[in-house]
Amino acid sequence: MNKKLGVYICHCGGNISDYVDVEKVKQAVENEEGVFIAKTTIFACGDANQKEMVDDIKNNNLDGVVVASCSPKLHLLTFRAVTERGNMNKYNYVHVNIREQASWAHSDNKEGATEKAILLVKSAIAKVRLSEPLYPIKISSKKAVAVIGAGVAGMRAAIELSNMGCPVTLIERDHFVGGRVAQWDVLFTTNQTGKELVTNLYNDLINRKNITLLTGAEVISNAGSIGDFKVRIKKTPRYIKEKCNDGHLLKAIQACPIEVPDDFNFNITNRKAIYHNFPSEYPHYPVIDIKNCTRCGECEKICESVDFTQKEEIIEIEVGSILMATGFDSYTPAEGEFGYQKFDTVITLPQFKRIIDLNDKKLTFKGKEVKSIVYIYCVGSRQIDGDNKYCSRYCCTSVIHAAIQTKKKFANIQNYHFTRGIRTYGKQEILYSDSLKSGDIYLQSYEEDPPVVLRENGNTLVKINDILTGGKEISVKADLVVLVTGMIPRKDNKVGALLKLPKGRDNFFNEIHMKLRPVETVIDGITISGACQGPKNIMESVNSALSAATKSFSYVSKGMLALEPIIARIDKNLCTWCGACAEACPFDAISVEKDENKDIAAINNSVCKGCGMCLPVCPVNAINLIAYSDNEIESMIDALAGV
Amino acid sequence: MPGGKANNNPKILVFSTEKISDPAIDMAGLLKLHYPPTVYTISIPCSSGVKPIWIMYAYEKGFDGVFIAADGSDCPYGDSCTEKTGKIIGHTHALMKEMDIEPARLRMAAICSVCSESFVKQMKSFNEYLLKNSNV
């Protein structure tokens, strides 16, 4: 209390003062308790006013400042910086929004807008009177980053961190790197194959001394917080020695009697229990799928590199930041959805892309030549009634590209696209144009009247009421029906739950702000990149990976971190430790500790996120959030109520 | 109520969240979607951090209605927010009944960061309700 306050009311060049009588606001607040200076200004954010504020603070030893202007999203940090330049504690600054929430919202009622602005400024004055100087919580930070997921995004992020001199542990759950991109053949726009892209990244990272690649590795626990995450990783063995004889291994693979559906080819082919995804897969040596291996010993007889003595390892690492690049799964249609699993001519887009890659000269599926292909778009995406409301973004481009590649690779192909509108944004429109020029046929329907897949006389037919021809029913005989399935969040997402990463409405990992803080999460020190955050193409994934790498590096580069001091605070006198706060905390930031003769709650300052979820559950009201204490909130209510 | 005085309307206090509903309320202003000027916002980090005593204090000080602009499933602090905010409402309703305050004077709705129209609709409807039931 007893603060000397400066209050600045902005015209915003007329945006505020056209509707709010700013002079009247000034007059109404200038005699409020503690107000030493009250001024109006044409542009509070302008250089001249900022300098004047700094001078006012210094010359008058102000220890609290209020600026009434636009949204704090725009200028809270600007004016906090101004107060710091005036040698004032920036947490004694309160921002009040009289533009979006008064002048513009009530431009139909100038008197009402002015009266509201007066009360809003008074409530900010009431808050700043009670504000206390705060200081960032300083903690040390380990200069190392864990990157989870060695797909294109994870590998590119690891390389970027390595370039910045940061040690990286790159953790991949699969036994091979490359993620989804390793499964794709030729890519738009470069005509590189996915394998080439993966090869380039792998060759770059594998020789770097500050990157440790762990494959077959899964995060099993995490303790600590930003600056000091203690990550435990379970690494399953390959059961193959690193320096092995390739020729013998190939024979061992051939000798293996076990066959299981091959995930890499989306189960359209089988693989052995000793396998690699493709001949030049990285790391180069294969793996034994121990879940399906019967230990028959056939491979051991042929190849001396097989080593069943290898044991599972638990590796513990300490890092200052974690970068998530865990990718996506493809939507699996429900049984019977557009004939999926009902008719053997119906497959998904990822399966189709593997078929194009695996076939040569002639396109065949299940022994039959394929000439007429129907693509049904938006399967599992843009669902009005289903869970996946979102557009998966990449699929229109991906399927059109696949259709073009099919025509290039195989003769006499006719493509029929059953769409819900084409979304080949940006340069990808070139593909749509190429596809049209090549004679592909496009038909369209709405979600409530989708195409129907049926069998008649041994043929697969797809019918649509085509809105491009005025709703005319069109029927196409298809050798193959490709369901254009979108991206969904990883079905096995234990690592997300383990790190307590929040998810959005689409169930992908959620960033703090999609435009302004797109790779940060509310869990300090954990960044997200690539398609684990939502559907993205390769370019977008790499963009976000580079951004996340830079952000993660910023957490560890200085060896020291300054955290926001707005956290929960326990009143030791009131607390009687019932545990309700610890139960309510989604971040495990509250534990019990001894204080003299009783148990009380203790806040872990570097883990608390300042959400306040612990506040309302305390039966004795022993918890306050710094800067949102009962006194501060109630003083604001007093001011707004006009008492 | 174009041209009218602000204090003709019931006073509504909104607890809004900095990351989710504040942007929606700000955007309502940007789009000049008007609502009664007797709607006042206090920003907090998360709607599941509102103390029932704050709500009760607002009634005590003369607010006619309190509205929680909840984070809902968009809450950056986790998916337990909706349930926890719901519990706060339930607990406060019980306190309101004890004090003979009509529970309908407390409302909650999830307001996402682009739900400007929804926010304005909520404010207009709440304002109308409070006007019609000025004796509550």
Who's near A325: CB < 8 A, 6+ residues apart?
A: A147, A148, A149, A150, A151, A153, A154, A157, A528, A529, A530, A532, A545, A548
Does A611 contact B4 at a Cβ distance shorter than 8 Å? Answer: no
Among A105, A504, A614, beta carbon nearest to B35: A105
- The verdict on a CB contact (< 8 Å) between A641 and B84 is no
Instruction: State yes or no: pLDDT of A532 exceeds 90.
Output: yes
Q: Summarize the confidence of residues A242-258 as an average pLDDT.
A: 84
C-alpha closest to that of A416 among A348, A478, A363: A478
Q: Read off the pLDDT of residues B16-29 as tens digits, 9 standing for 90 and up.
A: 999 889 989 999 99
Q: Please, which residues 66-125 of chain A have a Cβ atom closer than 8 Å to chain B?
A: 71-73, 97, 99-109, 111-113, 115-116, 119-120, 123
pLDDT digit string, tens, across residues A393-432: 999 999 999 999 999 999 999 999 999 999 999 999 999 9
Nearest residue in chain A measured CA to CA from B65: A641
Per the structure block, which two tokens stand in for B94? 């019980």
Q: Which of residues 201-230 of A touch B (CB under 8 A)?
A: none
The tokens for A71 are 């949204």
The answer to whether the bond into A283 is cis (omega within 30° of 0) is yes
Whether pLDDT at A305 is above 50: yes
Q: Do A630 and B88 touch (CB under 8 A)?
A: no
CB-CB contact of A442 with A436 (8 Å): yes
**Among B11, B19, B51, whose Cβ lies nearest the Cβ of A616?**
B51
Q: Do A116 and B37 touch (CB under 8 A)?
A: yes
Q: For A630, which of B30, B46, B53 is closest by C-beta distance?
A: B53
Q: Which of A105, A115, A613 sits opposite B77 (nearest CB)?
A: A613
Please tell me if residue A643 touches chain B, with a CB cutoff of 8 Å: yes
For chain B, list the domains and their CATH numbers. Answer: 9-132 (3.40.50.960)
At residue A1 the predicted structure's pLDDT band, cuts being 50, 70 and 90, is: low
Q: What's the average model confidence in pLDDT over A445-452?
A: 93
Quote the Cα angle for A191-A201-A524, to 5°: 120
Look at residue B3 in the predicted model and tell me its pLDDT.
35
CB distance A95 to A72 below 8 Å: yes
Mean pLDDT of B41-51: 96
Residue A279 C-alpha from the chain's centroid: 32
Better-predicted residue by pLDDT, A318 or B6? A318
Query: A71 to chain B: which residues are within 8 Å by CB?
Result: 22, 26
Name, in order, each residue with C-beta under 8 angstroms of A360's C-beta and a sequence gap of 6 or more: none
Q: Nearest by CB to B77, from A105, A113, A609: name it.
A: A609
> What share of chain A has pLDDT > 70, as a percent?
99
Per-residue confidence (pLDDT) for residue A280, from 0 to 100: 66
For residue B17, is the peptide bond before it cis, meaning its omega torsion is within 30 degrees of 0?
Answer: no
Among all residues of chain B, which has the CA nearest to that of A581?
B49
Give how far B88 is from chain A: nearest CA, Å. Answer: 7
Whole-number pLDDT of residue A385? 84
- To the nearest whole number, what is the mean pLDDT of chain A? 94
* pLDDT given at position B9: 85
Nearest in space to A120 (alpha carbons), one of B107, B9, B6, B24: B6
* Chain B residues inside the 8 Å CB shell of A611: 45-46, 48-49, 77
CB contact under 8 A, A640 and B23: no
Quick one: tokens of A616? Answer: 């309302």
**Whether A104 and B62 lie within 8 Å, measured CB to CB:** no
Quick check: A322 and A146 in contact, CB under 8 A?
Answer: yes
Q: How far apart are CA A474 and CA A472, in angstroms?
A: 6
Angle formed at CA A628 by CA A138 and CA A624, multiple of 5 degrees: 80
Q: What is the pLDDT of residues A330-378, one digit of tens each?
A: 999 999 999 999 999 999 999 999 999 999 989 999 999 999 999 999 9
| Cα–Cα dist A625/B48, whole Å | 13
Q: Do A105 and B33 touch (CB under 8 A)?
A: yes
**Cβ separation of B40 and A116 shorter than 8 Å?**
yes
Instruction: Report chain B residues whose CB lies below 8 A from the CB of A502.
Output: 75-79
Q: What is the pLDDT of residue B105?
A: 97
In the chain, the amino acid numbered A176 is: F
- What domains appear along chain A, each with residue ranges and CATH number? 5-134 (3.40.50), 145-236+312-328+489-556 (3.50.50.60), 246-302 (no CATH), 329-488 (3.50.50.60), 564-626 (3.30.70.20)
Per the listing, tokens 């293996």 go with A256
How far apart CA B12 and CA B41 sit, in angstroms, is 9
Cis peptide bond prior to A189, omega within 30° of 0:
yes
Q: Which site among B9, B32, B40 would you substitute to test the A interface, given the most A Cβ atoms closer than 10 Å to its Cβ?
A: B40
What average pLDDT score do residues A5-33 get?
97
Q: What is the number of residues in chain A?
A: 643
List, in order, residues 6 or more apart from A450 with CB less than 8 Å away. Answer: A338, A376
Q: What is the pLDDT of residue B112?
A: 85
Choose the mutation target among A506, A637, A643 for the interface with B, i.e. most B CBs under 10 Å: A637
Summarize the confidence of residues A33-38 as an average pLDDT: 97
Nearest to A612 among B3, B38, B45 (CB): B45
* Residue A607 confidence (pLDDT) above 90: no
- pLDDT bin (cut points 50, 70, 90) of residue A279 is low
**pLDDT band for position A169 (50/70/90)?**
very high
For residue A334, give the DSSP letter: P
Q: Do B38 and A112 touch (CB under 8 A)?
A: yes
Q: Is the pLDDT of residue B79 over 80?
A: no
Band of residue A610 on the pLDDT scale cut at 50, 70, 90 = very high
Asked if B41's CB is within 8 angstroms of A101's CB, the reply is: yes
How confident is the model over A539-589, as pLDDT tens digits? 999 999 999 999 999 999 999 998 889 999 999 999 999 999 999 998 899
- The 10s digit of each residue's pLDDT in A469-528 is 999 999 999 999 999 999 999 998 899 988 878 787 788 998 877 777 899 987 889 999
Determine contact, residues B81/B47, Cβ cutoff 8 Å.
Answer: yes
Q: pLDDT at residue B6 above 60?
A: no
- What is the per-residue pLDDT for B4? 38
Is there a contact between A586 and B50 if contact means CB atoms under 8 Å apart? no
From chain A, the residues in CB contact with B4 under 8 A are 109, 111-112
Strands (DSSP E) found in A295-438: 313-319, 321-324, 329-330, 346-348, 364-365, 368-369, 372-379, 414-419
Least confident of A115-119, A243-247, A436-440: A243-247
Residue reference for tokens 């710094």: A626
Q: Are A606 and A568 in contact (CB under 8 A)?
A: no
* A&B contacts, CB < 8 Å: 167
Report CB contact under 8 Å: B34, A105: yes
Q: Report the pLDDT value the prediction gives residue B19, as an integer from 0 to 100.
A: 83
Mean pLDDT of chain B: 90
DSSP A116: H
- Chain A residue with CA closest to B17: the answer is A611
Nearest-Cα distance to chain B for A630, in Å, is 7
